[in-house]
Amino acid sequence: MTSRREFISTATLAAAGVALAPLAACSQERPPATPAASAAPPKPFSGTLITRTIPSSGEKIPVIGMGTSGSFEVGADAGERGPLRDVLQAFVAAGGSLIDTAPTYSTAEDVLGDLIAQTNTRGKLFLATKLSGVTGRDEGLKQFNDSLRRLRTDKVELLQVHNLRDTTTQIALARELKQQGKTKYTGLTHYREDGQAQLADEMRKHKPDFIQINYSPVSRGAEQTIFPLAQELGCAVMINRAFEDGRLITQVRDKPLPPWAKDVGADSWAQLFLKFVLSHPAVTVVIPATSKVKHQVDNLRAGTGALLDAKQRQALIAALA
């Protein structure tokens, strides 16, 4: 029998327009009633997410991932966790897989681990966590083992050195764990333009499988060195801060969408920002963070259909100047 909480979650997903066929098939309940006409539901997610290849293995992953900084940093309260469970279920239902977290995002690993266990979705996910703020091999190893416990898993897909701290020791540990099968890939991350010169040096030195960096229509520094270097070295590229931590969304709140948005199948600014990021050929995956299922569906829709051509990229940059 479906629990009340599961039913509420399912109803919320349906209200957000997420395709629910597999969930409904498992449920003993009737499908939830159509929401009132006044609360117009957003367009449902449909289609197939574009995938891109991880150069070091040839494995393909969907281009829309998700972050957990801020959004998943909540307590044990069911009222806070319910919407996040919906966010996760919408993501998996659409075919999303890569989720980025870190042991230093307060409760995010615990919340994510609990929700993955509750939704039984571990097998569909590509989990990326980090060695974060630690010094020395022992501290790093202890933190990684804690991450596995908190995420309720025995391995992750990607282990990244966070913000280039103690990089030589921590990337060596990540490599050691890769050899043991505890992570499939290694990575290095940063999130600001002023970290990119050092990131480039460390990329040349350590040749990780992945790098993670900031990129948006108003922060294009990665185009200069990081993207060409990643292409040359064969690193997959994960993009954080595509919305500048939400500031870009606020900036365009009262602006109409450009008329050409419909040519790329976009009906929100968020989709245009994500399509901008994905239209750079060096980019493998983008990880917008959200606590709301309707935003999750919006973000996922950016990973289908056309991306931006050179003229549309310039028009978007100009619209934000």
Ligand X SMILES: NC(=O)c1ccc[n+]([C@@H]2O[C@H](COP(=O)([O-])OP(=O)(O)OC[C@H]3O[C@@H](n4cnc5c(N)ncnc54)[C@H](OP(=O)(O)O)[C@@H]3O)[C@@H](O)[C@H]2O)c1
Q: Which residues bind ligand X (CB under 6 A)?
A: 67-71, 100, 162-163, 189-191, 212, 240-246, 249, 270, 287-292, 295, 298-299
CB of 189 to ligand X, least distance (A): 3
d(CA 298, CA 295): 5
Nearer of residues 67 and 95 to ligand X, judged by Cβ: 67
Secondary structure of the chain as H, E, C letters: CCCHHHHHHHHHHHHCCCCCHHHHHHCCCCCCCCCCCCCCCCCCCCCCCCEEECCCCCCEEECECECCCCCCCCCCCHHHHHHHHHHHHHHHHCCCCEEECCCCCCCHHHHHHHHHHHHCCHHHCEEEEEECCCCCHHHHHHHHHHHHHHHCCCCEEEEEEHHHCCHHHHHHHHHHHHHCCCEEEEEEECCCHHHHHHHHHHHHHHCCCEEEEECECCECHHHCCHHHHHHHHCCEEEEECCCHHHHHHHHCCCCCCCHHHHHHCCCCHHHHHHHHHHCCCCCCEECCCCCCHHHHHHHHHCCCCCCCCHHHHHHHHHHCC
d(CA 197, CA 148): 31
Nearer of residues 23 and 289 to ligand X, judged by Cβ: 289
CB of 297 to ligand X, least distance (A): 8
CB of 31 to ligand X, least distance (A): 25
Nearer of residues 27 and 169 to ligand X, judged by Cβ: 169
CB of 295 to ligand X, least distance (A): 4
Nearest residue to ligand X on Cβ basis: 67
Nearer of residues 247 and 262 to ligand X, judged by Cβ: 247
Nearer of residues 95 and 103 to ligand X, judged by Cβ: 103
CB of 299 to ligand X, least distance (A): 5
CB of 247 to ligand X, least distance (A): 8
Nearer of residues 244 and 267 to ligand X, judged by Cβ: 244
Nearer of residues 104 and 169 to ligand X, judged by Cβ: 104
How many whole angstroms from its chain centre is CA 218?
20
Q: Residue 260's closest CA among 275, 244, 239?
A: 275
CB of 238 to ligand X, least distance (A): 8
CB of 219 to ligand X, least distance (A): 10
In the block, which residue shows the tokens 């399912």? 10
d(CA 97, CA 93): 10
Nearer of residues 8 and 252 to ligand X, judged by Cβ: 252
